[in-house]
Structure 1
């Protein structure tokens, strides 16, 4: 059994916030771009789409786009491929999916798969850092004394542990929230799931990113660090008419 498989899954409060200094210093892209979420120093980046579900079955965004006559591409947005704001507010397309993508937390199956892939691209599998947004109300009792990482848009609480801990929830049951930002001690790559987004971004070497974008268990596409992350970033599929608030 390899080192990755036998590592403990424990998460602990970091001794200081200094391991996050490089992330803060190198996350300096224009507002609402990938570079505003991740260090800009990597040679390649990927966008990982959180799956939707039909019962217990994972469904990829590409299938949803096909169902709606829209185009799957690296900058697609959920509202644009479904064609309606209401599909972010509880409505479903029961012939394709009945649970929309998770927002702000990487699903456990994707977290496990990404951790497995990323383990091949770091020399510090047992020494990793996990940051979680300090604004989550249910985390104060458990992690409130954690040192802070002053990310440009979100102050984070810093935890440490081995890479497999990425799949662990930082909330007590029945909560299910994974860390928003993680990286190995050797800084070989970095991953972020912003609290407002249905997708996760990863920066790393070209080889690292290729292992993610070609993995059949994930729906991931290569992106550029200066590309947008907002609803209007999809220039291929039109936004639905009206606004998000109209779907209430």
Structure 2
């Protein structure tokens, strides 16, 4: 991969130009269509109303901070890269500290890295009529943002306190809370509902629902590691039925 040509620095959402919304009606269509969170499927985070879906893998990082693909890590570990792979199954455990010469930092939990967000947004802008009016929701439980009590929250199942923002698609790489410890939007979509992107705070991957042509373009982009997904695909840590199942990430081992 080439080096990221467009770093945005450490500016928070205000500095980037996002506007906090006092109206959550633009997100009601997602709440109405998304499945219950306890189903733990793609349809629990992205509404199952699209023709096609993709799973976007947050890259690991090498010692220089450069992205490392899950497929590369899987090949080095003798495991299999596939659409439902889980990081713990690929590397043999959820607390693996790194592999010298291969990866130094595990993929980010709950946040689409800015470089990947820029690549994804670069594709998605071609598949919406409203690239300059998009909606971004961030879960207040992340601790990265606060909003006035008078502002409504988007009641996503299992993540009821989503704060809504608006802005152009170029702001998709915003880090709420600033650069180093900030997090991406957890949900974003254009005004015309042409696609929807979801990054749950507990996951190392992001899900996209869109047209078949849009998903194909994301899958083909060399800057993005993504594989096809389906609405009923499981998203839990033990979803990988091909690679060896490690101990639970909450087991302490």
TM-score (norm 1): 0.90
1:43-94 alpha-carbon deviations (Å, 9 max, x no partner): 100000000111222110001101110000000000001012322xxx1111
3-state SS in 1 of match to 2:235: coil
* Residue matched to 1:19: 26
Post-superposition shift, 1:9?
Answer: 4.8
3-state SS in 2 of match to 1:101: coil
1:124-143 map, 5 Å? 124-140=130-146
3-state SS in 2 of match to 1:231: coil
CA distance, structure 2, for counterparts of residue 145 and residue 178 of structure 1? 24
Q: Which one has the bigger helix percentage?
A: 1
Give the direction of change, closer, same or farther, for the CA distance of 1:169–1:145 in structure 2 (3 Å limit): farther
Unaligned runs of 5+ in 2: 1-14
CA distance, structure 2, for counterparts of residue 102 and residue 135 of structure 1? 17
Unaligned runs of 5+ in 1: 1-7
CA distance, structure 2, for counterparts of residue 146 and residue 166 of structure 1? 22
Give the direction of change, closer, same or farther, for the CA distance of 1:94–1:116 in structure 2 (3 Å limit): same
Give the direction of change, closer, same or farther, for the CA distance of 1:45–1:216 in structure 2 (3 Å limit): same
CA distance, structure 2, for counterparts of residue 107 and residue 143 of structure 1? 27
1:89-238 map, 5 Å? 91-140=97-146, 146-155=151-160, 156-172=162-178, 174-238=180-244
Post-superposition shift, 1:149?
Answer: 0.8
CA distance, structure 2, for counterparts of residue 145 and residue 98 of structure 1? 43
TM-score (norm 2): 0.88
What number of residue pairs does the alignment pair up?
A: 236
Post-superposition shift, 1:233?
Answer: 1.1
Q: Structure 1 stretch 32-41 or stretch 130-139: which is displaced more?
A: 130-139
- Are the aligned partners of 1:111 and 1:167 in contact in 2 as well (CA < 8 Å)? yes
Post-superposition shift, 1:173?
Answer: 5.1
CA distance, structure 1, for counterparts of residue 143 and residue 16 of structure 2? 23
- Are the aligned partners of 2:55 and 2:228 in contact in 1 as well (CA < 8 Å)? yes
* Residue matched to 2:93: 84
* Residue matched to 1:5: none
Post-superposition shift, 1:139?
Answer: 1.0
CA distance, structure 2, for counterparts of residue 223 and residue 138 of structure 1? 29
Q: Structure 1 stretch 24-33 or stretch 187-196: which is displaced more?
A: 24-33
- Are the aligned partners of 1:65 and 1:82 in contact in 2 as well (CA < 8 Å)? yes
- Are the aligned partners of 1:9 and 1:164 in contact in 2 as well (CA < 8 Å)? no
Give the direction of change, closer, same or farther, for the CA distance of 1:13–1:245 in structure 2 (3 Å limit): closer
C-alpha RMSD over aligned residues:
1.8
CA distance, structure 1, for counterparts of residue 75 and residue 68 of structure 2? 12
